[in-house]
Amino acid sequence: MFNKMRLLIFGLILIFVASCSPKHSEIIVAEYGDYKIKMDEFEKAYAKNVGGIELAKKDSIANYNKFLDLFVNFNMKLRDAKVRGLQNDPKILEELETYKNNIGVSYYLEKELVEKGIKDLYDKRKYELRVSHLLVRNDKISDEEARKKAYEIAERIKNGAKFEDEVLANSDDQFSKNRGGDIYYITAGTVIPEFENVVYDTKVDSVNLTPLHTQYGYHIIKVTDKRKRIPQLRASHILFAKKGNNDSLNTAQLAKAKEVLERIKKGEDFAALAKEYSDDPGSKSNGGELGFFERRQMVQPFDEAAFNLNVNEVSDIVESQYGYHIIKVLGKTEYPSFEDEKQNLRNIYEKSRRKADYQKLLDTFSKEAKIITNDQVIKEIILNSDSALVNDEYWDSNLHQNFGDKTILIIDDQSFEFDKLISYLQQNPKNTNVILDEKSINSFINSFKEQKLLEIEIAKKLTNDVAFNDLMDDYKHGIVIFKLHEDEVWNKMKMDSTEIKNLYEKSKDNYFFPDRVQFKELYTVSDSLLDVCRKEVLSGKSFDEVLVAHKLKVRPENALYANELKEVGNNKFAKAAFELKKNGDISEIVSDEKGKSILKLVNKETSRLKSFDEAKPEVTSTYQDIESAQLENEYITRLKNTYKPKIFYDELSKAFKD
């Protein structure tokens, strides 16, 4: 009974302790004034600082301690900034708003367009689809007539007409109409986006009966096959080339191909037979090896046969316009991981899809926003523009005086005056001195409206985006701390010339020139030419004269040595020049893998201490570092006296353990 009671009490104690123990994220790692820093804040900041949670987990307690010291100082500075009211400083707010607009648009487009777009591409490109289409062009007849014709054809197919018959009778695509409209296999990113979208939305052996309008006309699309995509195929072939239109010779070539195929089937080596019989000079010596290739890189009969073979399988005889092929597949690549393919997908997206997706987003925003263009004011501005230019002179012009404060655009509840348009234009150097006339003003207003529409609508979308708000907080913190340092350190720093000179005297051994050399070079890849040049120089011709006469070059890495003394360092040619005894001496030939050179010593100087004047920029920089560190320490000391921070280093043993 006693033991049972002990167990019960022990259990209650455990429950009590557990209930009293703070959650991992709530553990307090530091305090300053009335404020606390919790474990989740520390972990988030630390992981961001070192490049991610996994790297943070591997780090040492000593590094956690150092970072916490800095993090406490950082938080005390932020509190001090708030006490000073810097968060309401108009200049800081203006800078923050500008940054928010600029980075917000980039952030949103990357996240909502590019990242989603490349993920969609990745998923779609796992497959390839065989497609046929019927095209009704709209360049020979009106667009309305083309549309009407396409819809009539689609209706006939819906009512039982055969797709291929309609293609033969009506398609304006001369390439595919005699093949039932077949345009072979495609995958995402290889055709225009609107065509691709319909293809991927259409089931195999189905016809999409809603004609698709593109810049080419109206398409009725049929999907005939869908299969997993093989990114690349490695194959060999033996080619028996056709001999023009000579039927008897071509028949003989086909017979030879059949004979060689039988020998392969009986076990003879494919590569050896390719070397003996193939008429393809590009692959014959390699045993017929063609390397890796993608779908549609080869002529269609070859491509179709090769991509239907298994690894190490040999085809029957395949006829193309080039002749008769026997194909052997040597390997196939696997579909890559998303990370491995990401950059390629990004390139494809930027080239083929981004423009269409961007326009779709703009159209959506235009429907969601309330946009008012003040056409009357714009008309008056155009009439009174008087060929004004986009430059600083605008701000003294009559155009600015009379129309600068006039509203030209309203988006939702935000108004934009003509002056704001000019300020926007001046941010781009390409607009400098462009004449403000009817064409340019209308174009500029459209561009301005597009940018402001993006900024306003995206700002709404990002209101609750945690990652973006964190990014903005980081930037805001950076701005206010920069302002604090400006007030507490840089503006208080005094450049005392006497102290700078004293610092030099105390530490002059730290300021010295290494071995330096100045030389000229004649460089070529020709031994015989360099011998001639060396003889001419030794006979009294100047380096520059020989350089021009023989059209020689100077290595880019040696060009700077011609004008002034430069550190010898690890430069092979500088070392060779430095070893010459007196100014004007000519070197023997100095070679490397790029070519050969001869050198002329202009000047050299062995390592020496710098005079005060020579060292002054470095000494001044060192003095500034010392002064700023001292002022920073004084500022931190004042903050510590105010907030009396307490740091609980022992708690950091629990960091990243939850």
Q: Is residue 354 part of a domain?
A: no
Is the pLDDT assigned to residue 58 strictly greater than 50? yes
Q: Is residue 141 part of a domain?
A: yes
Of 331 and 555, the one with more pLDDT? 331
Same domain, 250 and 292: yes
The answer as to whether 648 is a domain residue is no
d(CA 288, CA 276): 10
* Average pLDDT across the chain, whole number: 92
pTM above 0.85, yes or no: no
376 and 423 belong to one structural domain: yes
| 292 plus 210 within the same structural domain | no
Closest by Cα among 40, 326, 106, 296 to 182: 296
Can you give the pLDDT at residue 485?
94
What's the average model confidence in pLDDT over 355-361? 94
Mean pLDDT of the region 503-530: 91
What's the CATH number where 524 sits?
3.10.50.40
Residue 173 falls inside a structural domain: yes
Print the domain residue range for 307.
233-332
Q: Are residues 243 and 218 in the same domain?
A: no
Residue-wise pLDDT tens digits, 236-283: 999 999 988 888 899 999 999 999 999 999 999 999 999 999 999 999
Q: Which residue, 210, 228, 246, sits at the end of a domain?
A: 228
Domain end marker among 160, 194, 228? 228
β-pair partners for 520: 600
Q: Would you state the structure tokens that stand for residue 422, as one six-digit string?
A: 């000019």
Q: Do both 452 and 537 map to the same domain?
A: no
132 & 224 share domain: yes
* 8 A C-beta contact, residue 399 and residue 388: yes
Same domain, 222 and 131: yes
Band of the pLDDT at 1, cuts 50, 70, 90? very low
Question: Are 332 and 233 in contact, with CB atoms under 8 Å apart?
Answer: yes
Q: Tell whether 603 and 529 lie within a shared domain.
A: yes
Q: What percent of the chain has pLDDT over 70?
A: 97
Residue 391 lies in a domain: yes
Note whether 238 and 303 are same-domain residues.
Answer: yes
224 and 237 belong to one structural domain: no
Residues contacting residue 166 through CB under 8 Å, at least 6 positions apart: 134, 153, 156, 157, 220
- Assess whether 210 and 248 both reside in one domain: no
Tell me, yes or no, whether 31 lies in a domain. Answer: no
Residue 51 lies in a domain: no
pLDDT(524) > 50: yes
How far is CA 258 from each of CA 255, 286, 289, 460, 494, rounded to the nearest angstrom? 5, 22, 20, 70, 94
Domain boundary among 584, 609, 634: 609
When pLDDT is averaged across residues 106-133 and rounded to a whole number, the result is: 96
Same domain, yes or no: 449 and 526: no
Total domains in the fold of the chain: 4
Confidence of residue 625 (pLDDT cuts 50, 70, 90): very high
**Within a domain: 501:** no
